[in-house]
Every structure is written in C-alpha cells, then in structure tokens.
Amino acid sequence: METDAEYLLEEKKYDKAIEIYERILKKVPNSAFVKFKIGITYLKTDDQQSKAIPYLEDAVKDVAKDFDSESISETRAPIEAHLYLGVAYQYNNRIADALTSFTNYKGLIDSNNQNFLLVNQYISSCANAEEQINNPQKIKTTNLGDLINDQNSNFNAVISGDGNTMAYTSYTTNYIDLYISTKSGAQWGKPKNVTEKVSKKYYLKTTGISYDGTTLFLATDDLIENDIFMSKLEGNEWTNAKKLDKPVNSKSNETHASISKDGKTVYFTSDREGGYGGLDIYKVALDEKGKWGAVENLGNKINTSFNEETPFVTMDNEYLFFSSQGHSSIGGYDIFYVNLNGSQEVVNIGYPINTTANDLFYVPAENLQSGYFSIFDKNSKGKKDIYMVSVTPEIKLKGKIIYDPSLTSVNTPFTVSIMNTENFEVIRIDSTIFDNFKVDLAPGNYKISIANQGFNPFEEEINIDQNYTKNELLFEANLNPIIEESPILVAEQIIPPTIIDPVVVNVLPEPTVVVPVEEKIAVEEEPIVEQVKEEIIEEIKEEVIVPVEEKIVQPIEAPKPKSKELTDYTNSERKSYSVQIMALKKPVDIDFFKNLNNVVITLSPDGYYRYTVGYTSSYAEAIELQERIEQIGYKNTFIKTNPFILNYTIQIMALKAPIDLNFFKNLPVVSVTKGTDEFYRYTYGAYESIPMAKESVQELMSLGYKQVFIKKMD
C-alpha cells in the first residue's frame, strides 16, 4: 500500500495518496512516521495545507535522530518533522509557532547538516513575514473566469506580448494537460487542449511564450530529470515539442525558460555546476546565425545559495521578475524583481502577492504594475486558479518644511494637506506638523498644501511616475513668512464699527444653481393718484456679483433706514432663509468681516465665493437681519430662500489655520466659519433629517474624510 501511495505522489495525485496513508494509519494508529507522511503530503496540496498541522504536531512527539527509513517496522518520525511542522505553521501565518518549531529543529542538527542553512533562512523569513504582513501592498485580483479556471489546479499562465494568446497548464485526471486560449474582445475564449499535439512522450508544463505568441517554451514535470522544450505554431496547429540544444539543456536539471520581446535572449534556470547554490538563473542569446551563444550566470546579486526559479524579463528588458527561496523571503519561495540596468537591488514584491507559502511563476504585464499568477483562495473555482493582479506600490514621501528662522518664529503647528488631484481623494490632513512629515503614496498626481497663520499659504503639485523605482521620495517646501509692516500713527480718532450678532447663524451650503430670490413683503404705501386697498407686493432683489477687478471697501456704519411694517409668514411651506452679503471671484479672508460674527464662506461650483450670515425659518427675522446688516454698510444684500427647513449639517474638519476651499474640489459645495475659539470649521451639506445626512457621511468617508460627524444646525 505504501508503494501505491508513493506512486500517486509522483503523479501529484495527493488526495488519493492521503487516502492510502489514512488506511495504513488505521492499522498502526501510533505510528509517528505515517502521521509524518500524511502531514507532508497535505503540505503539497493547493487547498488543504492547514490539515497538515495536527498530523505533524503528533509526529514531533516521537522523533528520533537514528530514524531508519529503510526499516518496515520503523514507527518513529525523523527529526525533520519539526522542520515541516514549522513550515505548516508558517503557511498558515502562525509565525510565532513556526519560529519555535524551526528553532527546535536547529537545536537537533549540526552546523554541517545540509539543512542548517535552510533552517536559518526559515528563521529569518519569520522576521521578514512579520514586517511584510504588517505593511501590506494594495492589490486588486481578478479571476480569469470559468472558461479558464475549473475544479482542477490551473497554473503557469504565459501571455503573448499583444495580450491576446495565453497558454497554461492544468493537473487533470490525465495527470497534466496543456491549454491555449485566445481573446475575443475583452474576454478569454474557450481553451483548446493541445497536449497530444505538443507531446505524447513527456509530461510538459508551460514556462514561456514569444512576444508574437507563436513559440511556446515548456519544461518536463519530473522529480528526477528536467529539460527545456520548444513548440512552434504552424498554421493553426502546434508542433511536437523539441528539446533545446546545448548549452541551454545540460546533464543537470533545467526547470524553466522564458524569452525576451525581441526573441533573441532566453532566461532559464539550471542547477549545473558552477552556480551559487541550487537552481540559478542564466541567460543565453542567439547569434546572427541563429545559434546559441555562451551561457551567462546572472551573478550572486540575484542568485543565492538557495533556489531561484521562474524568471521573466519585462518587454523593455529593464526588469527581471523571478522567485527565490533566499533574499528577504517571508516563507518558501517569494516573488522578487530587479532592475537589470540599475543597482541590481533585489526587491520583494510584497505581501499579499507573496505569502508565507511557496509563491512562484509571476508573469509581469506590460505596465509593470500588473501580472498573472496562480493562487488558491476563497474565490477559487476549484484548487489553484489563474488571476490577474494589479499592484499599487507605495512610495514613502519624506517632506521637510523650510523657512528662515531669522525672519519669524513658529509657535503653532503647520497644517499639511495632501490630495490626489486625479480623483480628489484626501490622502492626509495633519495639523500637528512643526518641521518634517511622512506619508505613503502610490504613483499618481498630488497637491500638497501647507498652512500656518504666520506664513503665506503654500501649494505645490507633484507627480510620482508609475515606473518610479525608489522606495522614498524627498520633498522640500520653502515657506515665506508674513512680514507685518509697522503701523503709522496718525492724529485721527477712528470710531470702531458696531459689532452685530446675527439673529440665527449656521453653516448653509450653497445650492448648485444660483437664481434670484423672490419673496412677498407686505408694504403700506401712500396713494399717489387714487386710494387703493392694502395688498401684497412682490419685491425682487437679484444677487449682485462684485466684479473681480473692483476693489473691496471695508464697510462703514451707515444711517439706520426707515423701518417698514412687515407681514410675517406662517412658514406653511417649510422654507428657511439666510442673508447673502456678497459674491466674489477673488476671495477675502473671513477676518475681513470684523463687524459681523459667524460669516459663512461657500465656494460654489461656478467658482464664486459667497458670503452669508444667519439661518432662520422666519422670513420676518430674515428681513430684520438684512436691515441690521445694511445699517453697517453692506449694500446689495439679498435674502436666500431654501426650499425646506434644514436641521443638520456634516462637519468635515476643524483647523487652527485656514486652507483654501479649492482644497475640497472633490466636493460640490463646502462652507467654512470661524468660531470664537479661533478654529475654522469646514462643513458640507444641509439636511432635513439624520438618515438623509448619514447617506452623505458614508460618501464622504469613502472619499477619505475619516473624521466627519453630523451636527445640529442652530
């Protein structure tokens, strides 16, 4: 029975092999060796690796240094059970437990043991895993769909340069099958099984495809001997695969080959003599006669004392993506990339593309931020599925605020705001910065705004290119302090204007469409020609826009006009009112209105800054407020009418130093008021009910405003 299980393991029919081992275990239930075999077989599966843990936990209870693998009566497990238990823990992100198991195993072997370097690498990978998992990459995965993925393990997908031809491998009841799919529009078509055409003699798996999609590279799927093969598309059929000549193939194992865009350079892996460890990455070029030239090892910056596998060069020959058990792996094989024309610093592609299990065969797409690879997850159709993954790398922006300390001193912090100018997402707002700041950004366009009451506002847009390869970007902001001129003393007494408190004040967002406000006012007038009865006369006041070029004069106190007798409305239509003072194309600071409290500034979609005061449900109160405002010199005011009573608004943020309302370009209308505590409060929207406001809260949070809350309008 054990021989049958071993055969099934070679055929990668792990489920069947486990069934046989389970039957054996029923006969010898105390055999740590059988439990060990079941555990390591589960580790080989794509979808049941966690089931290895309980078997290996039992196996390590009875291990022996003098384990005899040749004895049919051996029931103890080899000490490697500790190593594999650590791997099982690591695969399931139990990093602390994995570290304990690896340490236990290391304590049982000598430094000259063939696994000594390996277990040290596993121990290092535990520390790497903690760091990577705590700093995950932002990725998006897309399953290629039911036509490509089924209940089997589908893997080793290679894509032609135009993106329209895909070849991949699948473990099936026939052991291994090869498929070709072509795109029809944006969708992959039904795959065609080409196994019999490509090879009847060898079990082959896909490793690479030419840019034009007419040459397929394959490798034998064998535990003992591996070579590279090539098949050509002639007409509509693929030819029988032929083994590549020397020096690509050798007496050693060659496990993978892929080709450059121009079809002249092949990157392959081999464990031939002269390498740095197990499998190394090599390259070889075709000469002018179409013959293979000299083989070149890529060197010890890329190759390690462990195994390197599945190399793919990008279309521009700039970057090489490959898998390695060495470098900064977080467990087993990880995917790395290196700039072949730069410093050759090897970079881990990051978690969660890389996991604590084995991650191999990542094929980069042309834009470098996307690629194809196979994984098993909760969305898989069966076992391993082929996915397209989009990676959003993050670059740490290191900002430094620079100013001349001889001109000013900084007593209050700067407010640093960073916004994505493509989707207007607010990345960060921080009002606690005194000098330096840091933030992680993806490639894209950003606007950095810095404000402080002692400095002129600072704004600068930056671009982080998609191909930016460094992990950090330095940014310096040179700020200019506000220099106050000494006042000139004159022999004139200035009578300060009267400070007026509005009847009702609140934040009122500006409607998107500006229209004249028409309200009915009851007015008694003396007859001119003949006596007429009292009637309601419409008084129409249009909004006045102050021209850009017109100088804004500070209002002064004016004589009180003759009061009118007003007829108050019952507000049966549930309207509400406020008074607009002015509308400007070029804004003035809120401190301009020193003789008015609680002025609301709103930047409307038409680009005008509108200044309003008050909020009341009584039209009579609005008229009274308007009169009091005009008494102190503000002309051309008018009463704005809202179609319903507004009870709630949403506060976005409160800042000690103001920022321009243009910062909120991703919001239709934002208003700002300055409170008696000197804080500038930015609000959005006005709503009849809390449920209505809650809908906008969710939208605001999705845009990056995380500190919003609903507040009642006074």
Contact 258, 267 (CB under 8 A): yes
Span 580-590, average pLDDT: 83
Confidence of residue 411 (pLDDT cuts 50, 70, 90): confident
Answer with the residue of higher pLDDT: 710 or 33: 33
Buried b (16+ CB within 10 A) or exposed e, 491-522: eeeeeebeebebbbbbbbbbbeebeeeebebb
What's residue 206's pLDDT? 98
Type and span of the H or E element at 106: helix 95-106
Q: Which token pair is 442? A: 């993806």
Rounded Cα distance, 525 and 528, in Å: 9
Q: How many CB atoms lie within 10 A of CB 665?
A: 13
Task: Please name the helix (run of DSSP H) or strand (run of DSSP E) that holds residue 712, with its range, or none.
Answer: strand 709-712
CA pair distance 347, 471, nearest whole angstrom: 10
Report the range out of 491-500, 508-517, 563-572, 602-611 with the highest average pLDDT: 602-611
pLDDT over threshold 90, residue 126: yes
Give the pLDDT band (50/70/90) at residue 305: very high
Residue 564 reports pLDDT greater than 70: no
Average pLDDT over residues 175-179: 94
pLDDT at 128: 95
In terms of C-beta density within 10 A (0-12 exposed, 13-18 middle, 19 or more buried), how is residue 26 classed?
A: exposed
Average pLDDT over residues 558-581: 52
Is the Cα dihedral 376, 378, 380, 386 positive or negative? Answer: negative
What mean pLDDT comes out for the span 133-160? 91
DSSP 590: G
Tell me which of 652 and 485 has the higher pLDDT.
Answer: 652
Residue that is written with structure tokens 């021989």 in the block: 3
Q: For residue 484, what pLDDT is reported?
A: 61
pTM above the 0.95 mark? no
Given a contact cutoff of 8 angstroms between Cβ atoms, the answer to whether 462 and 445 are in contact is yes
* Percentage above 90 pLDDT, the chain: 50
Query: Does residue 559 carry a pLDDT above 50?
Result: no
160, 396 in Cβ contact below 8 A? no
Position 560 confidence tier, pLDDT thresholds 50, 70, 90 = very low
**What pLDDT is recorded for position 1?**
66
Closest to 514 measured CA to CA, from 665, 613, 640, 672: 640
Q: Is residue 531 over pLDDT 80?
A: no
- The pLDDT-based confidence of 469 (bands split at 50, 70, 90) is low
- Share the mean pLDDT of the chain: 83
Q: What value does the mean pLDDT take over residues 264-293?
A: 94
Where do the domains of the chain lie, and which CATH numbers do they carry? 2-134 (1.25.40.10), 138-392 (2.120.10.30), 397-478 (2.60.40.1120), 517-712 (no CATH)
Distance CA 683, CA 648 (A): 10
Alpha helices in 415-482 (DSSP H): none
**Which of 120-134, 235-249, 411-425 has the least mean pLDDT?**
411-425
Residue with the larger pLDDT of the pair 411 and 304: 304
Alpha carbons 518 and 522: distance in angstroms, whole number: 13
| d(C-alpha 431, C-alpha 655), whole Å | 7
Q: Which two tokens stand for residue 89?
A: 């823990």
| CA–CA gap between residue 393 and residue 391 (Å, rounded) | 6
Residue 244 has pLDDT above 70, yes or no: yes
Task: Say if residue 45's pLDDT is above 60.
Answer: yes
Enter the tokens of residue 505.
């004040």
For the cut 90, the answer to whether the pLDDT of residue 617 exceeds it is no
The whole-angstrom separation of Cα 46 and Cα 61 is 27
Q: What's the pLDDT band for 467 if we cut at 50, 70, 90? A: low
> d(Cα 6, Cα 249) in Å, to the nearest integer?
28
Kindly indicate the confidence band of residue 95, based on its pLDDT and cuts at 50, 70 and 90.
very high
The mean-pLDDT minimum among 15-19, 37-41, 613-617 falls in: 613-617
- Distance, in Å, from the CA atom of 593 to the CA atom of 599, rounded to the nearest integer, reads 7
The string of pLDDT tens digits covering residues 491-524 is 444 344 444 444 333 333 443 333 333 333 333 3
End-to-end, the C-alpha distance of the chain in Å comes to 83
User: What are the pLDDT digits (tens) for 190-238?
Assistant: 999 999 999 989 999 999 999 999 999 999 988 788 999 999 999 999 9
Asked if 202 and 241 count as a contact pair (C-beta separation under 8 A), the reply is yes
Q: Which of 40-54, 475-489, 686-700 has the lowest mean pLDDT?
A: 475-489
pLDDT in the model for residue 451? 92
Would you say residue 148 has pLDDT above 80?
yes
